[in-house]
Amino acid sequence: MTQLKNLSETPVHTTPPPLVRVSGTHLEMGQQIGESRRKNVQNSIENARKLIKEAYRELELSWDGALIQARKYLPFAQERYPQYVDEMQGIAEGANISFDELVVLNVLEAVTMDALHLTRCTSMAVNDEYTADGHVLVAHNEDWIPDDENDVFVIHAKPNDEPPYLAMTYGGLISNIGFNAYGIAQVIDSVYPNDSRIGIPRLVVSRAVLAVKTLGGAINRTLIPHRAAGYNHLIAHESGEIYNVEVSARRFSIIYNKDGYLVHTNNYLSENMQEIENDPEELISSRIRYFRALRLLNQSKSHTIKSLQTIQRDHVNYPNSICKHDFGEGNLLDREKTINAMVIDLTAREMHIAWGNPCKNSYHTYHLDD
Task: Determine, following the binding rule CB under 5 A, whether residue 312 of this chain makes contact with Zn ion.
Answer: no
Task: From 37-45, 198-206, 283-291, 319-327, give the range in contact with Zn ion by CB under 5 A.
Answer: 319-327
**Residues in the chain, total:** 370
Binder among 323, 333, 341, 351 for Zn ion (CB under 5 A): 323
CA distances from 1 to 43, 285, 291 (A): 38, 21, 21
Q: For residues 347 and 135, is the Cβ–Cβ distance under 8 A?
A: yes
Task: Determine, following the binding rule CB under 5 A, whether residue 357 of this chain makes contact with Zn ion.
Answer: yes
Task: Determine, following the binding rule CB under 5 A, whether residue 359 of this chain makes contact with Zn ion.
Answer: yes
Task: From 13-21, 207-215, 269-277, 349-357, give the range in contact with Zn ion by CB under 5 A.
Answer: 349-357
Complex with Zn ion: residue 10 or 112, whichever CB lies closer:
10
d(CA 355, CA 351): 12
Q: Are strands 19-24 and 152-159 parallel, antiparallel or unpaired?
A: parallel
Complex with Zn ion: residue 119 or 357, whichever CB lies closer:
357
Complex with Zn ion: residue 99 or 318, whichever CB lies closer:
318
Task: From 54-62, 88-96, 138-146, 355-363, give the range in contact with Zn ion by CB under 5 A.
Answer: 355-363
d(CA 95, CA 89): 10
d(CA 251, CA 345): 31
- Kind plus residue range of the DSSP H or E element containing 355: strand 350-355
229 alpha carbon, distance to own chain's centre: 15
The half-sphere exposure of 169 on its side-chain side, counting CA atoms within 13 A, is 27
Task: From 224-232, 279-287, 294-302, 356-364, give the range in contact with Zn ion by CB under 5 A.
Answer: 356-364
Binding mask 169-208 for Zn ion (x = CB under 5 A): ----------------------------------------
Query: CB 98: neighbour CB atoms within 10 A?
Result: 12
Q: Minimum CB separation from Zn ion for residue 174, in Å?
A: 28
- Judged by CB under 5 A, the number of residues near Zn ion is 3
Residue ranges that bind Zn ion, judged by CB under 5 A? 323, 357, 359
